[in-house]
Amino acid sequence: MTNEVDSALDGTGAPTPAPRKNDPETLARQIVEKLTYSVGKTPAEARRYDWLEATTLVIRDRIIDQWMESSQRAKTSGEKRVCYLSMEFLIGRLLRDAINNLNLTEPIREALSRYGVDLDLVELLEPDAALGNGGLGRLAACFMESMASTDIPGFGYGIRYVHGFFRQEIADGAQVELPETWLAHGNPWEFERRELAYEIGFGGKVTTIQEPGRPARQVWRPAERVLAVAYDTPIVGWRGRRVNTLRLWSAQPLDPILLDAFNSGDHIGALVESNKAEAITRILYPADSHQAGQELRLRQEYFFSSASLQDIIRRHLHANENLSNLADKFSIQLNDTHPAVSVAELMRLLIDVHGHEWAEAWEITRNTFSYTNHTLLPEALEHWPIHLFERLLPRQMQIIYAINAGVIREAAQEKGFDDSKIAAISLIDEGNGRRVRMGQLAFVGSHAVNGVSALHTELMKETVFHHLHLLYPDRIENKTNGVTPRRWLMQANPGLTDLVTDAIGPAFLDDIEKIADLDPLADDAAFRERFAAVKRRNKEQLANLIGERMATQVDPGAIFDIQVKRIHEYKRQFLNIIEAIALYDQIRSHPERDWTPRVKIFAGKAAPSYAQAKQIIHLANDVARTINSDPAVRDLLKVVFIPNYNVSLAEIIMPAADLSEQISTAGLEASGTGNMKFAMNGALTIGTLDGANVEMLEHVGEDNIFIFGLTAEEVAQRRREAHSGRSIIAELPLLREALDAISSGVFSPEDPARYHDLVSNLYNNDWWMTCADFQAYWDTQRRLDALWQDQDEWQAKAVHNTARMGWFSSDRSIREYARDIWKAGPDA
C-alpha cells in the first residue's frame, strides 16, 4: 500500500498544465485530436459513437484539472470531509451533466456542428450508469452532485457492479428481465486505482491472545480473503466549482489464478477462487424496499463497508497521528442500513487493528457515523440470521453482542426499561429464529438518525424506532429529500430553463430558490402561453418516442397523466389502472359527454421475484392493448406502458407531464423524489398526504395540488380494524364493474383467470386501501378533467408549481445535512 498518493492525479509538485481555452475553435481541434490519437479515426471515418468517445475525453481532461485542485484542497486544508456510504448510485449519463456544469454546452455544440455532428444525438449513445434500483440510489447521485455544487468535500463510496439494474422488455404484456452491460464498451469516466486495494476477509475464527502484562486481544483469522480495488469517477459541481470523487469498489481475487493448481493441470479448479471473489461485485440486487436475504448480499454489504472504512482510516492517518480525532475530520453517512455493518467494522478496526480501548472506540464510532432511514415497510427492514452473520463475520458478531449489552445496560439503568421495552430496542431479534437487526445497529452506532420527509420522520419516532427514540430522544431529526435542479430542470428541460431565464434573469441558476421570482407571472397571460408552449413541445417529444418505440399514437393535446416509478403494491399503480378502466367504461357508456382527452402513461420495473408487481405490469399492458384498439374511445383515452424506465427516460418524461401521480397508501412512501421532479417541471400533482407530498402541499399551496384519500393515521386505524374491500365494492358500481371486467378476463381473453387473485385480494383484504381510496381518487380526477377545460387556470397552477418548488432542491437538503449533522462545508 502506498501512502503518499491519494490518487495519481494529486499533482505532486509537477508543473501544472496551461489553463484551457474553451472557445469552439479550440474545442473542435481538441476533439479531432482525441479522435485521431485516442480513438484512431479520421473525422471522415468517425461514426457517432467515436465522436462520443472523443468529446468525452476532451471534457474529461478539463474535469481532471479541477479534480486535482479539489482533492489537493481538501487534503491540505484539513477541512472536514463527508463520506456517503451507499450500496447504490443511480447516476444515469454523465456527459451532458459534465458539459452543463462546466458551462460548455454551447461551445461544444458549435465545435461538433463544424463536422456536421449533433451533440444531442451523440449524448444519447452514452449508456446509463444504472447502479441503483430507484429513489434511494438516485438520491445518492443527486446528493453527490449537490455536494460538489455547494462546495462540500464529499466522497461517495459504493460498489462497482459489473451488471447494473436489469434491462426490462415487455413480451406479450409481461416483464422480461435482461442483463445490463454498461461496461461493455469500457467506461471513460472511471479511473482504476490499482494502488488502492484492501484485503477483505470472510469466515474463519476469532482467537483470544493473552500476552503477559497486557489486556487480552481478539484476533480474527478469516478463512477467505478477497481484494477490494478502487475505481474513481469524478463528480463535477455546478460551474465546475468543485470536483468530488465517487469511489466504487471492485472485488478481485488475491491470487488471480492459483498457480499450483494451474500447473498441476487443474485449470478449472485454479479459477474457482477467482470466480468466487469476482461474484461479490458482479450484480446489483434488484429488490427495492424488500430485503434480499441471500448470503451474497451480506458479503456485498460487508465488502464495501470494510473497504471504505479502511480507505477512510488510511486517508485520515495520512494527515493525523492517530484515530482519536477521526470524528473531527470525517463524517460518514450511512445510506439506509445496507452499510450498517460499518458500525461493527469500525469498532473492530479501532480496537483490534489500531489498539483503541472499547469506550474510546465507541465514542469515535458514534461521533463519526450518522444514518438515514428510507423506509418503514417491515418487509424492507434488514435483519440477518445470527448463524449466517456469525459464520461470515465472527468478530463483528462478537462486537455487536458487546454493543448490545452496553445499550441494554444503559436502557435498564438510566431509563428503567422493562423486558418488553428492552426486547424492542435490542440489536438481536429473539422472535424470528434470532436475527441481527441492522436498523437498530445503525441507530445506536450513530450520533444522528434522519428520516427523509417530515411525515416519515414523525412515523419513525412512533413506529419502528419508538423505543430507541425514548432512550435517545435527541437523535432522530428530519432531512427532507431534494433533487438536483441541474439535471432535473436545466438539462432535462432546456426549453423551460431558457424561458425562465428570459423572464426573471439567470440568478436562479446559481440559487434555485430564486425561481420564486417567477410566481407573479402566473397571472400574466402572455407568459402562461409561452409556458404552455414549452410544455407542448416537451409532450410532442415524448409522443414521438412513444410512437417510435411502441407504435402507439398519442395526442399531445390530451392531458399527459403520468405514473413512473418502481412497481409496488403500496405505490398503487393498480388504483390508477382501475381508474383508467372505470373511465373507459364511462366513455363507452356515455359517448355524448364532453370528455377530457387523457393519455395515461406508466413506466417502471418490478423486482423479478415480486409476483404481484409483475401482475400489475401485465395488467397495465393488457388494458393498454384493449383500450388503444377500441375505436369507441379513440382520442379520448389512451394507456401506454413504456418499457425499461431509467434515468435517461425519466429526463424525457418529467418535463412532458401535465399530471403527476403520487398516490401511495398514506404512511408508506417515505418521501418520493419523482414527485419533486415533476412539479419543478410544471406538472400538477394528484396525490395522497404521504411522504414529501405533505411538504409540497405547504410550498405550492392547496390550490395548486390535488390531494385525496385517507391519511396515514386513518390507514393505520383501518388496518387495526381488519378493513376489507368487500362492502366498499358493493356500494360503488363504478369500482365493481371495473373489477368484474378485470377478473372475468375482459383484458386477458387468452387467459381469463389471469387476474383472479389480484382482484380477490381487494375483496378479502384491501391491505393497500385501493378500494377505500377509489371514490376520492375518481372524484379528484374528474375535478382535474374540468380544470383542463380552463387552460388559463391550469397553466397558472403549473407556473406556481415551478415557481414554488425551489426548496426541494438537493442543494437545500445537503446544506441541512452539512449544518446539522456533518458540521462540514463552507458554513461549518
SS3 392: helix
Amino acid present at 337? T
State which of residues 30, 300, 305, 375 lies at the interface with ligand TH1 (CB under 6 A).
375
Pattern 257-296, ligand TH1, x by CB under 6 A: -------------------------------xx-------
Would you mind telling me the total number of residues written for the chain in this entry?
A: 828
374 in catalytic set: yes
Smallest gap, in angstroms, from Cβ of residue 754 to ligand TH1? Answer: 28
Smallest gap, in angstroms, from Cβ of residue 289 to ligand TH1? Answer: 5
How far apart (Å, rounded) are the C-alpha atoms in residues 811 and 514? 13
Of 677, 797, 812, 815, the catalytic one is 677
Instruction: Give the dihedral sign, CA 432/434/437/438.
Output: negative
How far apart (Å, rounded) are the C-alpha atoms in residues 305 and 299? 10
User: Nearer to ligand TH1 by C-beta: 381 or 649?
Assistant: 381
Smallest gap, in angstroms, from Cβ of residue 87 to ligand TH1? Answer: 7
Smallest gap, in angstroms, from Cβ of residue 575 to ligand TH1? Answer: 17
- Closest residue to ligand TH1: CB criterion: 135
User: Nearer to ligand TH1 by C-beta: 70 or 673?
Assistant: 673
Query: Which H or E element spans position 614?
Result: helix 611-628
User: Nearer to ligand TH1 by C-beta: 180 or 336?
Assistant: 336
Smallest gap, in angstroms, from Cβ of residue 466 to ligand TH1? Answer: 19
SS3 465: coil
If binding is defined by CB under 6 A, does position 724 make contact with ligand TH1?
no
User: Nearer to ligand TH1 by C-beta: 237 or 286?
Assistant: 286
Of 435, 571, 605, 812, the catalytic one is 571
Strand spans (E) along 542-609: 559-564, 598-603
Q: Phi/psi at 390 (nearest 5 deg)? A: -65, -40
How far apart (Å, rounded) are the C-alpha atoms in residues 323 and 318? 11
486 in catalytic set: no
Of 17-25, 149-157, 184-192, 373-381, which part binds ligand TH1 (CB under 6 A)?
A: 373-381
If binding is defined by CB under 6 A, does position 133 make contact with ligand TH1?
yes
Of 10-18, 550-558, 605-613, 669-677, which part binds ligand TH1 (CB under 6 A)?
A: 669-677
Of 566, 600, 800, 815, the catalytic one is 566
565 in catalytic set: yes
Smallest gap, in angstroms, from Cβ of residue 695 to ligand TH1? Answer: 12
**Chain centre distance of CA 445:** 24
Burial class (CB in 10 A: 0-12, 13-18, 19+), 686: buried
If binding is defined by CB under 6 A, does position 457 make contact with ligand TH1?
no
How far apart (Å, rounded) are the C-alpha atoms in residues 705 and 472? 37
SS3 649: helix
If binding is defined by CB under 6 A, does position 139 make contact with ligand TH1?
yes
User: Nearer to ligand TH1 by C-beta: 308 or 673?
Assistant: 673
Of 535, 565, 618, 804, the catalytic one is 565
Pattern 382-421, ligand TH1, x by CB under 6 A: ----------------------------------------
Of 147-155, 372-380, 522-530, 802-810, which part binds ligand TH1 (CB under 6 A)?
A: 372-380
If binding is defined by CB under 6 A, does position 481 make contact with ligand TH1?
yes
Burial class (CB in 10 A: 0-12, 13-18, 19+), 28: buried
If binding is defined by CB under 6 A, does position 380 make contact with ligand TH1?
yes
673 in catalytic set: yes
Smallest gap, in angstroms, from Cβ of residue 234 to ligand TH1? Answer: 24
If binding is defined by CB under 6 A, does position 381 make contact with ligand TH1?
no
Angle at 350 between CA 348 and CA 220, to 5 degrees: 35
State which of residues 563, 671, 681, 801 lies at the interface with ligand TH1 (CB under 6 A).
671
How far apart (Å, rounded) are the C-alpha atoms in residues 729 and 744? 16
Q: Is there a contact between 392 and 436 (Cβ–Cβ < 8 Å)?
A: no
State which of residues 586, 673, 704, 748 lies at the interface with ligand TH1 (CB under 6 A).
673
How far apart (Å, rounded) are the C-alpha atoms in residues 89 and 101? 19
SS (H, E, C) 737-804: HHHHHHHCCCCCCCCCCCCHHHHHHHHHCCCCCHHHHHHHHHHHHHHHHHHHHCHHHHHHHHHHHHHH
**Contacts with ligand TH1 in 675-694 (CB under 6 A)?**
691
Residue with cell 459489473: 162
SS3 158: strand
Smallest gap, in angstroms, from Cβ of residue 633 to ligand TH1? Answer: 34
Smallest gap, in angstroms, from Cβ of residue 605 to ligand TH1? Answer: 13
Instruction: Classify strands 174-178 and 167-171 as parallel, antiparallel or unpaired.
Output: antiparallel
State which of residues 227, 283, 393, 452 lies at the interface with ligand TH1 (CB under 6 A).
452
Residue with cell 395515461: 600
Count of residues binding ligand TH1 (CB under 6 A)? 19
Q: What is the DSSP string of 409-450?
A: HHHHHHH---HHHHHHH-SEESSSSSEEEHHHHHHHT-SEEE
User: Nearer to ligand TH1 by C-beta: 671 or 724?
Assistant: 671
823 in catalytic set: no
**Chain centre distance of CA 584:** 34
Amino acid present at 691? G
The residues that are catalytic are 374, 565-566, 571, 673, 677
Contact set with ligand TH1 (CB under 6 A): 133-136, 139, 288-289, 336, 374-375, 380, 452, 481, 669-673, 691
